[in-house]
Amino acid sequence: MFLADTLNDLVYKPIKKPYEIWHKFMEQNVEFWLPESEWHTKTHCARVLFLALLIGHQKGLSAKEIDALGMAAVFHDSRRLDDGIDKGHGRRAAEYYKDYCRGHDLPYDARTYYITYYHDQDDSLGLSEIAKSSSLSERAILLYQIFKDADALDRFRLGPDALNVNLLRTEEAHRLVNFAKYLLQKSRKTYS
């Protein structure tokens, strides 16, 4: 399994199970529109999954909240039409997630839908839409920030200067900058 040996490190034990579940789920069930993508691959989504679960664990999220992040990680870039900004791929991926839940045995979580929907938009828009929604509590804002930080931490794949660390939203993500670089190096060594 992708990143399996990193997961066996004791420090990451608490996220091992949800990581394995959602990674396997992605490999077996999530269909990507751009399978030949250079930048938005399943390995990108796996690293985002790892980082989102790690920040989520450090923030003390519940198991359900952790799963909401896991589902967002494995669906968020599945409906891209190109490797550029492609605004709207978040909305398409969110609809895919919702449809998938209707047709399969996967629990629908409104937080996953909103995080996925607005992950490619400015925080100001995402945060205001989440705040407006009657189906979401304030915790959804925290989940959105964690997810966007995890996605941002994998920007080092685009180049050494591709992440502006000043824009990271959570303390935990700030502390994971070097780990994110390590995770990327490790996956490049193993999978290229």
Q: Which residues bind Fe ion (CB under 5 A)?
A: 77, 120, 151
Q: Which is nearer to Fe ion, 47 or 66 (CB)?
A: 47
CB closer to Fe ion out of 31 and 62: 31
Of residues 136 and 150, the one with the C-beta less far from Fe ion: 150
3-class secondary structure per residue, the chain: CCCHHHHCCHHHHHHHHHHHHHHHHHHHHCCCCCCCCCCCCHHHHHHHHHHHHHHHHHCCCCHHHHHHHHHHHHHCCCCCCCCCCCCCHHHHHHHHHHHHHHHCCCCCCHHHHHHHHHCCCCHHHHHHHHHHCCCCCCHHHHHHHHHHHHHHHHHHHHCCCCCCHHHCCCHHHHHCHHHHHHHHHHHHHHHC
CB of 74 to Fe ion, least distance (A): 11
| Closer by beta carbon to Fe ion, 65 or else 77 | 77
Nearest distance from C-beta of residue 76 to Fe ion, angstroms = 5
Closer residue to Fe ion in complex, CB, 65/151: 151
**Shortest reach from residue 90's CB to Fe ion, in Å:** 6
Radius of gyration of the chain (CA): 15
- Residue 21 has a CB neighbour count (10 Å cut-off) of 13
First vs last C-alpha separation in the chain: 15
Pick the closer one to Fe ion by CB: 121 or 133. Answer: 121
- Minimal distance in Å, beta carbon 126 to Fe ion? 12
